[in-house]
């Protein structure tokens, strides 16, 4: 007996200009719709080799243990931290937004002694303050965020990483909103563990977390006094599958990796420099387009994160449509214009919008569409 | 400047008769190829509501916290265990295959005192032995596997679950290879936490782990003396997004959930009873088709797991093509016939094959294709 095929689930055709996911290239969607092979099939393993090689290029590293974790970006953060930390280990975390704060939570749950170095949301971490804390605490791990998705700040990496390495610490870097949209150079910077997500500048769906561990980090994990708390995220076990031996650990998410394969081919075909320039140009268009409407960037010009712009809201938005306000206008953009933008997170909630121009979406025509919709809703067209 | 679209990655058209993934229904692939909306978009949240409701039907539960974890099945195992266990807690784990053994590893990494109750691979866990250990150890958690993918054993659940509940323990059940292919009745059985994967009887790609936590389990997690070791898997945080409030926790894997939405619609349209009968019928065809070639089932008839059959190998397979043996014949099936079957895991490696007839693949025509290929390779056609 044949069962009639139910109707496909459908979603409205949104332009995704929030903090992620961004819109996915049609050929990535087509790749994911290909029939599956097994996770130990030689044909699939060849694609996985390609994915790992291309991720090394994007991360700017030769690290053998560069791979897509089979879970979303937050799991990549957890993977980097729980592999390197044992109970009682000290960590210094730079916190200038929600994701730095999340690293503190993850590290504390792993039993680490956490020292926070806070900075005002919208500003960078001060390298001198980080260096002072590192010298004082002598931590095993120093962790901070390259591209703070909650504030739109691009953090200068080198001085902090150098201070950490000088103190003998391992350096963990959050590259969720930078990988594939901005230069990332793990080896030049001296980073030991980094993680990202696929749903931002890589223009793939959420669901995978590219990570990279230096050989030095991997050696340290192998020398731990107790096993990594997470079996699923233990990089010494992941190395059995993602290294040369291809030993079964867990079942890799085949379809998502087909999509990532194609997403990375698109990045490589465009070229990293051209792609970074496209992200910068799109962000410049956004600032120019929103300025006449009264939006102003939260972040000082030299520290802005091109893929994600955090904009202070004018009174016309804060008081939009009587009491509806900024949340009401975001809902109106979604319902009436099929455009998603992000609200503020944490202390910035209600005060800013986060506008993502990531991956495929980093193009002036998307800025024009957003500005046009806002002009219409704010009566300034 | 437009970048030319690179060629799509491609995989050979395999018939996936191993231990998973199984072949995915074309409409599930089509659902995953739909453009994305955001993870907080009302249109997406409506699909998530549908997924959660349908998972409750499949799990046989009214548990509010029934949801797809954003990672593969092994992460679902870890989620169930690390939420319920604190360092020093006692757990009794039934081990009659690789996945019971993995539960011991995961629990030990969470700091639990693990008591194993072992049973020969290919046999069920003896309820009396489990009950004895439960009475002796007085554990906080009792965990075992409903459908052992490494051996093809279907475990009777009720007596062990009853003994555990009587002792005041929480019961964790691995339903990776049963959900959607066999009756699962968490509420009737008194299960507190269960997990599955999407790539077996649900006929979706790997990448998500459906889990369910009873209210009683959730209350216990909320009453823990220390936070759950994993931020990513903390069910009290997941409840913020997968419960009514839809608070951001991590970015849900939109495309995978589109696929699961369609996969569950297909299961519901077919009906759970009809689907279970189809899996049983396909397995019966397999035993009948392989018997003339000398394959014999490892598992006693009353304990066989219809979606996954573990077959002892005849001499014609063990000695196939000189030294190539069973691994060589599996490779020949893949390269020459595009058919994947699974080898043995752990102590059964080299001794058995694991043949999956799961989800869409649980059909006699797939058995016929496998038998035909084997007849040809073994010269018995």
Our CA-based measurement puts residue B224 at a distance from the nearest CA of chain A, in whole angstroms, of 13
Average pLDDT over residues B67-91: 97
Q: pLDDT value at position A245?
A: 84
In chain B, CATH 3.90.1150.10 covers: 272-378
State the span(s) of chain B assigned CATH 3.40.640.10: 26-268
Q: Report the DSSP beta bridge partners of residue A355.
A: A309
Rounded to an integer, the average pLDDT of B177-200 is 98
pLDDT category of residue B380 using cuts at 50, 70 and 90: low
Q: What local confidence, expressed as pLDDT, does residue A244 receive?
A: 79
Read off the pLDDT of residues B230-258 as tens digits, 9 standing for 90 and up: 999 999 999 999 997 888 899 999 999 99
pLDDT number for residue B130: 98
Q: What is the pLDDT of residue B245?
A: 84
Please write the tens of the pLDDT for every residue from B263-306.
999 999 999 999 999 999 999 999 999 999 999 999 999 999 99
> What's the mean pLDDT in B205-225?
98
CATH class assigned to A26-268: alpha beta
Three-state DSSP state, A338: coil
Burial of B199 (0-12, 13-18, 19+ CB in 10 A): buried
| Neighbouring residues of A72: CB distance < 8 A, sequence distance ≥ 6 | A197, A199, A206, A207, A208, A209, B70, B71, B250, B251, B252, B253
Tell me what pLDDT residue A2 has. Answer: 73
Q: Minimal Cα–Cα distance from A21 to chain B, Å? A: 6
pLDDT above 70 as % of chain B: 99
- The pLDDT assigned to B132 comes to 98
Report residues of chain A scoring pLDDT below 50: none
CB B215 within 8 A of CB B63: yes
CATH of domain B272-378: 3.90.1150.10
B306 close to B283: Cβ distance less than 8 angstroms: yes
Report pLDDT for B113.
98
Q: Which of A23, A50, A252 sits opposite B206 (nearest CB)?
A: A252
Contact residues for A79 (Cβ-Cβ < 8 A; gap 6+) = A69, A195, A209, A211, A230, A233, A235
CA distance B144 to B348: 20
Which positions in chain A touch B249 (Cβ < 8 Å)? 74
* DSSP per-residue codes, A46-83: HHHHHHHHHHHHHHT---SEEEEESB-HHHHHHHHHHH
Return the pLDDT at B146: 98
pTM to 2 decimals? 0.97
CB contact under 8 A, B334 and A16: no
Give the pLDDT confidence score for residue A380 in this predicted structure.
66
Q: What is the CATH class of A271-378?
A: alpha beta
pLDDT value of position B1 = 58
User: Would you state the pLDDT for residue A7?
Assistant: 95
Phi, psi dihedral angles at A171 (to 5 degrees): -115, 125
The residues, ordered by sequence, that sit 6+ positions from A100 with a Cβ below 8 Å of its Cβ are: A93, A94, A116, A143, A144, A145, A148, A174
Q: Chain A partners of B12 at a C-beta cutoff of 8 Å?
A: 37, 41, 43
Give me the pLDDT at residue B80, please: 98
Average pLDDT of the residues in B325-349:
96
Q: Which residues of B touch A27 (CB under 8 A)?
A: 5-6, 8
Is B120 part of the contact surface with chain A (CB cutoff 8 Å)?
no
Residue ranges, comma separated, of all CATH 3.90.1150.10 domains in chain A are: 271-378
Give DSSP secondary structure letters for A213-226.
E-HHHHHHHHT-SS
């Amino acid at each position: 007996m044949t069962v009639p095929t139910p109707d496909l689930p459908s979603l409205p055709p949104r332009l995704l200009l929030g903090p992620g996911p961004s819109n996915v290239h049609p050929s990535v969607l087509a790749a994911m719709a290909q029939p599956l092979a097994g996770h130990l099939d030689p044909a699939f393993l060849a694609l996985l080799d390609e994915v790992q090689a291309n991720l090394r290029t994007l991360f700017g590293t030769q690290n053998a243990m560069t791979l897509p974790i089979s879970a979303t970006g937050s799991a990549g953060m957890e993977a980097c931290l729980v592999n390197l930390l044992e109970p009682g280990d000290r960590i210094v975390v730079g916190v200038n937004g929600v994701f730095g704060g999340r690293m503190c939570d993850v590290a504390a749950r792993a039993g680490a002694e956490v020292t926070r170095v806070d900075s005002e949301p919208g500003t960078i971490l001060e390298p001198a303050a980080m260096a002072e804390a590192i010298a004082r605490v002598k931590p095993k791990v120093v962790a901070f965020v390259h591209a703070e998705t909650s504030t739109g700040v691009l953090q200068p990496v080198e001085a902090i990483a150098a201070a950490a390495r000088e103190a003998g610490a391992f350096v963990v870097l959050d590259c969720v909103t930078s990988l594939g949209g901005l230069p990332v150079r793990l080896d030049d910077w001296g980073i030991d563990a980094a993680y990202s997500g696929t749903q931002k500048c890589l223009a793939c769906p959420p669901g995978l977390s590219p990570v990279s561990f230096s050989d030095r980090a991997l050696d340290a994990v192998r020398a731990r006094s107790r096993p990594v708390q997470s079996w699923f995220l233990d990089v010494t076990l992941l190395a059995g599958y993602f290294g040369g031996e291809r030993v079964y650990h867990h079942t890799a998410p085949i379809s998502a990796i087909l999509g990532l394969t194609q997403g990375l081919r698109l990045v490589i075909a465009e070229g990293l420099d051209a792609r970074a320039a496209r992200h910068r140009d799109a962000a410049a268009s956004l600032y120019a387009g929103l300025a006449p409407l009264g939006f102003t960037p939260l972040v000082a010009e030299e520290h802005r994160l091109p893929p994600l712009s955090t904009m202070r809201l004018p009174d016309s938005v804060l008081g939009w449509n009587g009491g509806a306000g900024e949340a009401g206008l975001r809902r109106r953009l979604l319902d009436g214009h099929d455009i998603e933008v992000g609200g503020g997170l944490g202390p910035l909630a209600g005060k800013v919008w986060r506008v993502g121009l990531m991956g495929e979406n980093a193009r002036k025509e998307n800025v024009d569409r957003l500005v046009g919709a806002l002009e219409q809703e704010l009566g300034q067209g």
